[in-house]
Structure 1
Amino acid sequence: MISASEFGWIMPEIMLAGWGLLLLIIGGLTRGPVASKTCGVLSVIGSVCAMYFTVNLWGGNQEVFNQLYTIDNFGTFFKGLFIAILILVSVVSLRYADREEIGSGEYYALLMFGVLGMMVMTSSHHFVTIFIGLEVMSLSIYVLCGLLRGNLSSVEAALKYFLLGAFATAFLLYGMAMIYGSTGLMDVADLKKFFLTKQPFSATMFVIGLGFLIVGFGFKIASVPFHMWTPDVYQGAPTSITAYMATGVKAAAFGALIRVFFTAFVPFQFGWSEIIWVLAVLTMCIGNITALVQRDIKRMLAYSSIAHAGYILVAFITGDRTLASSMLYYLMAYSFMNIGAFTVVIVLQKKGDNNSDLDSYAGLGARHPFIALCMSIFLLSLAGVPPLAGFMGKFYVFSTAVKAQYYWLAIIGFLNSVVAAYYYLRVMMYMYFRDTIGEPGTADKAPGYGLVMLICIWALLHMGIFPKTFLLIAQKAVGIFS
């Protein structure tokens, strides 16, 4: 029996769903620049209200709706991260979406619905609700990717993401079905008890199902060899949506992956960790090596995001629930680094031009010193240079591998970080040590862009200089697994 009090535990989700429907109505009744700005401002206000309700859930521990949905620090951590991403992307979109003429009520509503799906994914411990959250998130992003209707690459990105996303979702769903067929259970907590009590089950069907789960989640986190969609989709999608996907979607997939595997499949950690070991090495190496030859900044950041998924998998492999906080810390830092970097890309892009060629960054330090400085900070953090958050994130992740005696994995990760530094520093070299190539481009200096860049820089410096505060939050979030 569902009680009315249970709805109080899902106020952030209710807020986003209701506010998104309101924006759909407003978008259907009004059009034009004023309507776009109004919807953008309302989106920011609604997101801030959702953040307020989310913060109030911290410390709560409750299962609702017949145990299909859970409220705990792990889910609340990710809800806060998703809403922070939503706020930053919405602020960036106040100018960008209006400039590209995509800033309707539908645009901001889909951003909210996407975050709603992310929340459901990471707060569910039942396969059915995880799948529902995944579909809500995915369907929203399929549409968002193709909003630049006059741009062929945007339409191609949406179609490619839809087709490959549907294919990966089928693997994930079939994996869930195989595990259910093997054990008769779909709740991850019940699966944990089932395996610990050594109940009989079909091992062959279970192993196949587990493999399909890894394939499905691997697509969403863009790990090799399930990464082929990433550069084309990231390059073709509106840049604000690229930032949204590179951070929110990846964090949601990792959140669901951690909850499922660190709860249900811990007894089989040795088996699946060997598979993830190979995926982590391939993801780091191929992501970084391919990024070396990219001339487009968005494609470079796409391959960079693939490599960063490999770094996070390094900590995931250990299966040590007490050390899982390093993954959450890294996801926080990664989100601010990428949103900041993609904001700079947006600032330097022209209306209707979704490209970001490396040559357009030549001489940026002389033309726009503040923008070049911001981009340098984001790139240095991505490279893992102290005292920025990227350094501490990699330090915690590789330390986790060393503590679990995965020494070779830590060494491979460190060497990949050195390789990655080359293509990050190459962009800085173009900005400061190359003359402007061709006609100098202009920068779109809307106040919202500067605000987002400064917030991201503050977060990266604060997390890098005072990491223990954020690591403690992450440790409390993963405390549910101990």
Structure 2
Amino acid sequence: MQIDYSDPIHYFWALLPEVVLSLWAMIVLLVDVFQKGDRSEPSRPIVTWLAFAGIGAAAIANAWLATVSEVGTTGMIAVDGFRIFTNYLLLLGGALFVPISTRYLEQEHLRLGEVYALVLLSLVGMMVFAGARDLMVIFLGLELMSVGVYVLTGVNRRDLRSAEAALKYFLLGAFSSAFFLFGIALLFGGTGTVNIALISAVIGVDGLGANLLVLVGMALLAAGFGFKVAAVPFHMWTPDAYEGAPAPITAFMAVAVKASAFAALLRVFLTAFPGLYDTWGAMVFPFALVTMVAANVLAAVQGNVKRMLAYSSIAHAGYLLVALAAASTLGTASFLFYLLVYTLMTVGAFAVLAVVARPGEQRLDLADYAGLGWRHPVLGVTMTVFLLSLAGFPLTGGFVGKVYILRAAVDKGMIWLAIVLALASLISYWYYLRLAWYMWFREPERPDVHGDVQVSPGLRVALVAAALAVVALGVFPGALLDLAERSAAALTSAATLGVLAP
């Protein structure tokens, strides 16, 4: 089948995964509403299975979308390998969220149906955000994603920390959205279009590379994206929002929001501004450098594990900015590969944290993890795998991803950026291995400190599967790297972006 955007009905087919998720979110809400029993009681397991089924149905729709082609490249929604890959990545984040959150939500007396419906609707926004070619549609996806995540951050209405985190996130998010929207307005004023492919053509044909409206609009877009990917100095909201939100929600925010924002950032800058690479590449360079160094240094001094992982996620945003700065097929492929590995290891780490911290997330200090590995081997072993991969230890997916990002930076001549990435990773070894050391080589202050820690069968399967995938991608990365390169070619092919390296 060919998607021809001259026929409006074809937009329905182009958005089929998002349509499926939207309908399924409505079903989850309706089932939750009509369930018998008091509102304070946990939702029945059917809601969990419905959420899984909705994500699976969207994945099937995404697989069908991979078999179709589109006529032209100026439609508001892209149907290409890059979008297909990022859709699967986002759906993976949603699928991992379900098993790590079920028991947590029940113990905190939160309605599963409400949370899962919000997650599905947030995923819809993320997929539109990452797959759109029109700046206004991108903004629509951004807002749909953001509203859902704001509510999820404050979903535990009995916890003042959660409410405070949601308020801070909302206020700063609204501020960043204003930057983003003003940037769109300036770009429209300078080029006469909001289609990112046409923006590139207009800049090239009319010679608008030095146009002030275009340059300021591009800078404002970068500021809006910087907030969503939590790059320094736009990261201020991240530690407080991540610490205050329920741990499974934090995991979802750390992977899905960041993945969709980075995917949209790559699509916009590599498609709309290839001819301005010298300008925006020079802008990304210092942001990547400062983000990697500052976030790792701040993470190294944290005694609260949740805040440590929050600063860790900021540091990984810096690594991904290096891949963006490389602006090549290899850089984009390494970005996609690393983003997938990052999803697995970050969700896994936050899942272990959610189990250990309960009830009420009171156990968040390093000392609370003393002896965890011996008392609960599944949690200890899987957490160790995730920490080693986050640090970039050999034979893990995190190591392979960092090596390919380094290679892309070196091939682009960014030697100093590659050196800083390597040194920043060495700093991260300290705080990741310190937590592992506590789990295996420190005696707990009380023998029964982990006596109430319970691992559900679903969570156990998710943790083991994620850990095995992280190791497998470190030992056998070839197939996924090939897929990532084919997906990256949609953005960085020499025919479309002649200024970028093939």
Normalising by structure 1, report the TM-score.
Answer: 0.97
Matches within 5 A, 1:62-461: 62=70, 67-200=75-208, 203-353=211-361, 355-438=363-446, 439-441=448-450, 442-461=452-471
Deviation at 1:480, TM superposition (A): 1.2
Distance 1:291 1:448, change over 3 A: same
Kept in 1: contact 2:47–2:113 (CA 8 A): yes
Deviation at 1:193, TM superposition (A): 1.2
Q: Distance in 1 between matches of 2:254 and 2:309?
A: 9
Distance 1:157 1:407, change over 3 A: same
Q: Distance in 2 between matches of 1:201 and 1:377?
A: 47
Q: Distance in 1 between matches of 2:437 and 2:42?
A: 40
Deviation at 1:14, TM superposition (A): 1.1
Distance 1:311 1:25, change over 3 A: same
| Residue identity opposite 1:75 in structure 2 | R
Kept in 2: contact 1:182–1:202 (CA 8 A): no
Q: Distance in 1 between matches of 2:438 and 2:248?
A: 24
| Residue identity opposite 1:29 in structure 2 | F
User: Does the alignment pair 1:24 with 2:34?
Assistant: no
Q: Distance in 2 between matches of 1:92 and 1:32?
A: 21
Kept in 1: contact 2:331–2:409 (CA 8 A): no
Q: Secondary structure of the residue that 2:43 maps to in structure 1?
A: helix
Q: Distance in 2 between matches of 1:195 and 1:19?
A: 41
Q: More displaced, 464-473 or 314-323?
A: 314-323
Distance 1:354 1:321, change over 3 A: farther
| Residue identity opposite 2:359 in structure 1 | K
Q: Secondary structure of the residue that 1:69 maps to in structure 2?
A: coil
| Residue identity opposite 2:350 in structure 1 | F
Deviation at 1:351, TM superposition (A): 2.1
Q: Distance in 2 between matches of 1:11 and 1:32?
A: 35
Q: Distance in 2 between matches of 1:218 and 1:34?
A: 38
Deviations, residues 140-172 of structure 1 (Å, cap 9, x unaligned):
000000011111110001001000000001101
Cα RMSD after superposing both structures: 1.7
Kept in 1: contact 2:126–2:142 (CA 8 A): yes
Deviation at 1:200, TM superposition (A): 4.9
Distance 1:102 1:66, change over 3 A: farther
Residue 471 of structure 1 corresponds to 481
| Residue identity opposite 1:11 in structure 2 | L
Deviations, residues 268-298 of structure 1 (Å, cap 9, x unaligned):
1011111110000110001000001111111
Kept in 2: contact 1:40–1:103 (CA 8 A): no
Residue 53 of structure 1 corresponds to 61
Kept in 2: contact 1:362–1:431 (CA 8 A): yes
Q: Distance in 2 between matches of 1:345 and 1:63?
A: 47
Q: Distance in 1 between matches of 2:171 and 2:158?
A: 21
% identical aligned pairs: 39
Deviation at 1:322, TM superposition (A): 4.8
| Residue identity opposite 1:474 in structure 2 | A
Distance 1:188 1:35, change over 3 A: same
Deviation at 1:194, TM superposition (A): 1.3
| Residue identity opposite 2:370 in structure 1 | A
Residue 11 of structure 1 corresponds to 16
Q: Distance in 2 between matches of 1:132 and 1:50?
A: 20
| Residue identity opposite 2:25 in structure 1 | G
Deviations, residues 110-141 of structure 1 (Å, cap 9, x unaligned):
00000000100111010010000000000000
Deviation at 1:9, TM superposition (A): 3.2
Kept in 2: contact 1:58–1:76 (CA 8 A): yes
Q: Distance in 2 between matches of 1:228 and 1:5?
A: 41
Kept in 2: contact 1:95–1:448 (CA 8 A): no
Normalising by structure 2, report the TM-score.
Answer: 0.93
Deviation at 1:191, TM superposition (A): 1.0
Deviations, residues 412-470 of structure 1 (Å, cap 9, x unaligned):
10000000000000001111111102351231211111111012112111211111111
Q: Give ranges in structure 1 of 5+ residues lacking alignment.
A: none
Kept in 1: contact 2:208–2:214 (CA 8 A): no
Deviation at 1:59, TM superposition (A): 4.8
Q: Distance in 2 between matches of 1:177 and 1:35?
A: 45
Deviation at 1:63, TM superposition (A): 6.2
| Residue identity opposite 2:472 in structure 1 | H
| Residue identity opposite 1:24 in structure 2 | L
Q: Secondary structure of the residue that 2:301 maps to in structure 1?
A: coil
Q: More displaced, 152-161 or 345-354?
A: 345-354
Deviation at 1:198, TM superposition (A): 3.3
Q: Distance in 2 between matches of 1:14 and 1:454?
A: 32
Q: More displaced, 432-441 or 288-297?
A: 432-441
Deviations, residues 68-104 of structure 1 (Å, cap 9, x unaligned):
2121111111111111111110122221211211133
